[in-house]
Structure 1
Amino acid sequence: MNEQELSQRLTVVGKAVPKGARLADIGSDHAYLPVALMLADKITYAVCGEVVAGPFHSAQTQVAKSGLTEKIVVRLADGLAAIEPADNINAITIAGMGGTLIANILENGKIQGQLTGKERLILQPNVGEANVRFWLQKEGYQIIEEDILAENDKIYEVIVAEKTGVKQQLSEKEVFFGPHLLAEKNSVFLKKWQQEQQALKKVLTQLQKAKVIPEEKVAAIQKELSWIEEVLSC
Structure 2
Amino acid sequence: MNTNKLSDRLATVAKYIPEGSSFADIGSDHAYLPCHVVQSGKAVFAIAGEVVEGPFQSARKQVQMEGLTDKIEVRKGNGLEVIQPGEVDCITIAGMGGALISQILDEGKSKLDSVKRLVLQPNISAISIRTWLLDHNWTLVEEEILEEDGKIYEVLVAEKGNAFKAYNKNKMDEGLLMGPYLIQKQSEAFLKKWSNEMENWKRILDQLDKANETIENQQKKQELLDKIKMVEETLKQ
Same fold (TM over 0.5): yes
Aligned to 1:109: 108
Question: 1:202 is matched with which residue?
Answer: 203
1:159 aligns with 2:156: yes
| Identical-pair percentage | 44
Asked if the contact 2:133–2:163 (Cα under 8 Å) also holds between the matched residues in 1, the reply is no
CA gap 1:167/1:133 in 2 versus in 1, 3 angstroms: closer
Structure 1: give runs of 5+ residues left out of the alignment: none
Structure 1 residues 162-177: aligned runs within 5 Å: 162-164=159-161, 166-168=162-164, 170=167, 171-177=172-178
Which stretches of structure 1, 4 residues or longer, exceed 6 Å deviation after superposition? Answer: none
Q: How far apart are the structure 2 equivalents of 1:123 and 1:132?
A: 8
User: Deviations along 1:122-153, whole A, 9 cap, x unmatched?
Assistant: 00000001011000011011100000001000
Shift of 1:85: 3.0
CA RMSD of aligned residues (A): 1.4
CA contact under 8 A between 1:117 and 1:163: conserved in structure 2? Answer: no
Q: How many residues align?
A: 229
SS where residue 30 of structure 1 aligns?
A: coil
Q: Which position in structure 2 is the counterpart of 1:89?
A: 88
Cα offset for 1:212? 4.1
1:30-109 equivalent positions in 2, closer than 5 A: 30-85=30-85, 88-109=87-108
Q: Which residue of 2 aligns with 1:193?
A: 194
Deviates more, 1:173-182 or 1:212-221: 212-221
Instruction: Check if 1:182 corresponds to 2:167.
Output: no
TM-score (norm 2): 0.93
Aligned residue type for 1:231: T
Aligned-partner residue type, residue 137 of structure 1: L
Moved more, 213-222 or 34-43: 213-222
The Cα of 1:47 is off from its aligned counterpart by 0.6
The TM-score normalised by the length of structure 1 is: 0.94
Counterpart CA distance in 2 for 1:129 and 1:200 is 17
Deviation, 1:105, is 0.4
